[in-house]
Chains A and B, each alone.
Chain A
Amino acid sequence: MAETSTVTTTPAGNDATVIKTGPPSGAAGTGAPAERASPPRPPVNQIYALPAPIRTFPLPTFYPNNPVSLLHLIYAWLSQVFRAPPQEPSVVHTGVWDPETRSVHILDESSVRALWEQGFYGKGSLSRSEPNWLKRELARRGSPEGKTVSEARTELRREERRLAKWERAKAELEALEKQRLAETLARTAASETTRLNGILSEPVKAAEASVLPSSVRPTAVEPEDADEEAAVETTPVVEISHHPEPAGRQIRQEAKPPVSPAELLALPNSLAELNNLLDTRGKFHDVKAPVGPAELLLLPNSHADLVLRPVSGLAIFEIGQTAPSQPTAQATHEVDGHAEESHTRPKTNGGINGHAIKASASTGSKELDGVSGSGICPNGTGKTPITPLSLASDDPVLCPSAAELEGDLLQKRGKSVRFSPRVESTTFLHSDPPSPGLSVGVLPKSAAPALPNGGATPEAASASALSAGAPRLAPDSATEIENKEHFQLAPEEAFFLAFSLGALKVVDPVTGSPISTEHLLPLFRSHSYFTPRTSHSGLRPDDPFLINYAVYHHFRSLGWVPRHGIKFGVDWIIYQRGPVFDHSEFGIMVMPAFSDAAWEQHEHEEPKRSWSWLMGVNRVLSHVLKSLVLVYVDIPPPTVFDEEIKRGGIAAALKKYTIREVMVRRFSANRNR
């Protein structure tokens, strides 16, 4: 690109002028139409050419050995002198202060693009950063104008990951079953000799070990009982040759304590699941009772737990009994019977944390679960407990009643890994309805009038309420879809645009009158506390807003692009150029510091951050390839601050905040030796 051309691609209308002063291209007028004519978007460097919503008018370079360049220079200079461009910033955007979300909303489309493209300010209310809800929506409806945005790609990748995990888990499960089968066979087939061998090879210890977990728990059985159990364990092998009873036993004894935590992990994976759980909640109240009060307290989890836990025990039985690859109806019946039988026994051995009781309850709940699972499934397959079993062995992706299947698999594995085979319901569009049964994917076109996404998110809801009257005929046409997304500026961003650049005017949401920067400041400061402090006296030099703004301003004024880092558990992340161009290399944690001795007279709270917190943040960041920077903001004491603000306003007061960055990373003693 010509280094001297400045293109504002904002479709803002009149000021979308293209100033071309460089030698390579012709008159200014020709550039713009050409651009408009070509549907493919201009390269990103052109779109995001301006680092700030201010244009500059650099003069062409003068090469002493090239007289023509002098002419260019003179021409450019003269044209600017005689036809002076408007003073910069030539556009002052308007934003509306929204106290509820503590952000400044930008509603004008051209302002949205300008703020995003000229310095990466703000974010779309329905997007992760760049406002592209509309594009996503178009893409979803199959419109050619829709674009695959990064969110969609991320979803896709996550989906791939989920599938990979699912495959892996499946393989693990199969290996485990093989092992179980082998052990069962070994035990049943083996006669006395094997037992003898076993005793020889790992005599008392093994037995003791198997009792161990139960003896650990406080509610454990009496030691004698435990011993008895252990003793029994070796003997019944032979007598119940066709039932994998001992394996089941062991599960009762050993696996129990760990199993429950594992299943706690198996939280509902998706909203759909949650809904399923909620739907069936009522039915499960009877199951709830035996669960320890502690687990009950795990609120949303506990439901998942409830659904999953009981069956998982069963699942193990099923697996142990039937050939893993071909479960049949008969197998299921057997399972039922067997489960009945097996859970009565554990009662004797345990009462351990009431797990046995749960297990028994599970038999009852098994049907329930099956029914409830299929109930959600619109296809209505699998009304009987048999179906899920047989489905389980099928190719999961093809299976229509995936919800069930997922549940089933989860139960068997009890792993926290998400391996939902139901691809379409685990990917979320913000417009998706809460119930997957009404998913747009099912009724792609005809659903438009009903607009299934109506109640999906609060924002969308309000938006659609506003636009309720608008008729919708052809949903795949871009013009018909109303953009439900607005643009939000964080207070720091808004203040920077207003106070530093003068490129933003914030208006009062009620009166619509502009708020001066002088009034904007206390507004933002008071709203940086959770319950906004209304009284002027409640504002202090260490207001969260002031501290954060000091950091924001510091990096912005150096040329970085700071954006909120809440996604990564930090205050800010900073980009060298912007999210479109590069990966942000640094995560910023703001650390207030009160080094001035005068602070001793004022109440303040020096943050005590634990080391594990630091390690955690550092881990999160290094996981996304960012470095942690602790930014210490030394805050002036109130007296100094008040004095400065009286004297020279916030501009003077900010000069009293000093910033020290401290780079943090883990040090590997192994690598550096």
Chain B
Amino acid sequence: MAAPAERQVRISRVAGRYLVFDIDDVVHIRRHYGICAVLTGTMPQNPTQNLFLGLPIELHAEEARLLVDKGAGYIADELTDHLSQLSVMDASTRKAYLQHLKQQRRNAQQVFDEEKAKVQAKHQGKRKAKPAAVTETTAAVTETEEDTSLFDTPKPPSTTLTTTTPKEPSLPGVTPTTSAPLIPSPTPPSPAVGIPRPANYPLYNYLNARGYYTTPGLRFGGDYSVYPGDPFRYHAHYLANSYGWDVEVAMLDLVASGRLGTAVKKSFLFGAEKPVEEGSGADGGGEGGGGGEVRVFCIEWAGM
């Protein structure tokens, strides 16, 4: 499929939900598989707002299934993996993990020191230029990060490091985002852990295959908000709802959907998968659009 197919995205299954913790995985699937999913975590940089959220991202079961189907990711049962690793940890793993942590802490320290030096330099420079300098205390940490990361495109899979706050001589503590060094990714990824095919999968797959991005559409009154490209750039065009093939759609719902589309400035899209004729492989095989064909319809309020 896409070029960097080697990358295996670890999809953490926690209590039946699907999460992704690694920022590189997040960027990867957003770029190459049209999956942006939902950022759900609190941002440590600014934990008192809800507009911007951080890792992990939560995937729909459809999205997780799609990644697995395309061979781009694998499902990891996080609780089992962690417990088995944590409770009976062999010395070498532990040592490696701790080493990794220490390195991170040293990095943090280093970044911080650099920052401090930079700030001081800046501060002094400012002193000379403008005596009353503004905002000197906090460093432009992100700025520097940005500068570097724009260039080295695919970072090593380990967690990247930034730091913020000043500290004392001893190394700062670090909470890594992922357990990557602790829990080695299985090689080969165990396909044993599968995902039952979600009911909405055919429609989702249909949209994804056509280059659309989706986000949960609950707030607008549908299953998905459908974007013509990366939602960073575009507004959603459709509000999509998946139906069963033989489900009767109440007339009232049709009217409401049409009006709803007008209200949220999207077109309302119905989609359903035609069941496969008897004889051919049933649902289970479901590779990609494994079932029947998917048909979609749009409705709009005529406003007459």
Query: Is A–B contact present in the complex under a CB 8 A cutoff?
Result: yes
Determine the distance from Cα of A528 to Cα of B211 in the docked complex, in whole angstroms.
Answer: 44
Interface flag for B193 (CB, 8 Å): no
**Tally of chain A residues near chain B (CB < 8 A):** 51
User: What sequence of 0s and 1s flags, for each residue 601-644 of chain A, a beta carbon within 8 Å of any chain B beta carbon?
Assistant: 00000000001110111111001000000000000000000000
**Chain B residue with Cβ nearest A215:** B2
**Chain A residue with Cβ nearest B227:** A258
Q: Choose among B234, B260, B263, B294 the residue with the greatest number of A CB atoms under 10 Å from its CB.
A: B260
B206-241 residues at the A interface, CB under 8 angstroms: 206, 209-212, 217-223, 226, 228-229, 234, 237-238, 241
Determine the distance from Cα of A618 to Cα of B264 in the docked complex, in whole angstroms.
Answer: 12
Q: Given A613-B253, A616-B222, are A428 and B211 neighbors across the interface (CB < 8 Å)?
A: no
Q: Which residues of B contact A571 (CB under 8 A)?
A: 252
Would A257 and B228 count as touching, CB distance under 8 A? yes
Interface flag for A522 (CB, 8 Å): no
Q: Which residues of A contact B212 (CB under 8 A)?
A: 257, 261
Q: Which residues of A contact B226 (CB under 8 A)?
A: 261
Q: Which secondary structure dominates chain A's binding surface? A: helix
Interface flag for B82 (CB, 8 Å): no
Q: Which residues of A contact B294 (CB under 8 A)?
A: 294
Q: Given A217-B211, A267-B298, are A258 and B229 neighbors across the interface (CB < 8 Å)?
A: yes
Q: Which of A296-304, A318-326, A358-366, A534-542 contacts the other chain?
A: A296-304
Q: Which residues of A contact B263 (CB under 8 A)?
A: 619-620, 623
Q: Given A216-B211, A218-B1, A258-B234, are A301 and B298 neighbors across the interface (CB < 8 Å)?
A: yes
A and B contact pairs by CB, cutoff 8 A, 28 listed = A205-B153, A208-B31, A216-B2, A218-B288, A223-B2, A257-B211, A257-B228, A257-B229, A258-B228, A258-B234, A261-B210, A264-B267, A267-B298, A294-B293, A297-B296, A301-B297, A416-B237, A566-B251, A566-B252, A568-B255, A569-B257, A615-B221, A616-B222, A616-B256, A617-B221, A619-B260, A623-B259, A669-B50
Which single member of B33, B252, B297 contacts A570 (CB below 8 Å)?
Answer: B252
Determine the distance from Cα of A416 to Cα of B223 in the docked complex, in whole angstroms.
Answer: 21
Interface flag for B15 (CB, 8 Å): no
User: What sequence of 0s and 1s flags, for each residue 33-47 of chain A, a beta carbon within 8 Å of any chain B beta carbon?
Assistant: 000000000000000
Determine the distance from Cα of A158 to Cα of B293 in the docked complex, in whole angstroms.
Answer: 39
Which single member of A216, A223, A569 contacts B253 (CB below 8 Å)?
Answer: A569
Would B32 and A257 count as touching, CB distance under 8 A? no
Residues of chain A touching chain B, judged by Cβ–Cβ distance below 8 Å, are: 158, 202-205, 208-209, 212-213, 215-218, 220, 223, 226, 257-258, 261-262, 264-265, 267, 293-294, 297-299, 301, 353, 416, 418, 428, 566-571, 611-613, 615-620, 623, 669-670
Tell me, rounded to whole Å, the shortest Cβ–Cβ distance linking A22 to chain B: 46
Q: Given A213-B229, A257-B229, A299-B297, are A416 and B259 neighbors across the interface (CB < 8 Å)?
A: no
Q: Which residues of B contact A566 (CB under 8 A)?
A: 251-252, 255
Determine the distance from Cα of A205 to Cα of B252 in the docked complex, in whole angstroms.
Answer: 48
**Chain B residue with Cβ nearest A618:** B221
Determine the distance from Cα of A615 to Cα of B251 in the docked complex, in whole angstroms.
Answer: 17
Would B223 and A612 count as touching, CB distance under 8 A? yes
Would A215 and B32 count as touching, CB distance under 8 A? yes
Determine the distance from Cα of A217 to Cα of B209 in the docked complex, in whole angstroms.
Answer: 5
Determine the distance from Cα of A27 to Cα of B174 in the docked complex, in whole angstroms.
Answer: 94
**A-B contact sample (16 more), CB < 8 A, given A298-B297, A619-B263:** A205-B153, A213-B229, A218-B209, A257-B212, A261-B226, A569-B257, A570-B256, A611-B218, A612-B217, A612-B241, A615-B219, A616-B221, A616-B260, A617-B221, A619-B260, A623-B263
Q: Given A299-B297, A613-B221, are A215 and B3 neighbors across the interface (CB < 8 Å)?
A: yes
Would B255 and A567 count as touching, CB distance under 8 A? yes
Residues of chain B touching chain A, judged by Cβ–Cβ distance below 8 Å, are: 1-3, 31-34, 50, 150-151, 153, 206, 209-212, 217-223, 226, 228-229, 234, 237-238, 241, 251-253, 255-257, 259-260, 263-264, 267, 288, 293-298, 300, 303-304
Which single member of B2, B206, B255 contacts A569 (CB below 8 Å)?
Answer: B255
The 6 closest A-B pairs by CB, nearest first: A616-B221, A569-B256, A258-B228, A257-B211, A623-B263, A223-B3
Which single member of A262, A569, A570 contacts B237 (CB below 8 Å)?
Answer: A262
Determine the distance from Cα of A298 to Cα of B237 in the docked complex, in whole angstroms.
Answer: 16
Tell me, rounded to whole Å, the shortest Cβ–Cβ distance linking B74 to chain A: 21
Would B221 and A298 count as touching, CB distance under 8 A? no
Q: Given A213-B229, A218-B1, A612-B222, are A261 and B255 neighbors across the interface (CB < 8 Å)?
A: no
Would A569 and B221 count as touching, CB distance under 8 A? no
Would B221 and A612 count as touching, CB distance under 8 A? yes
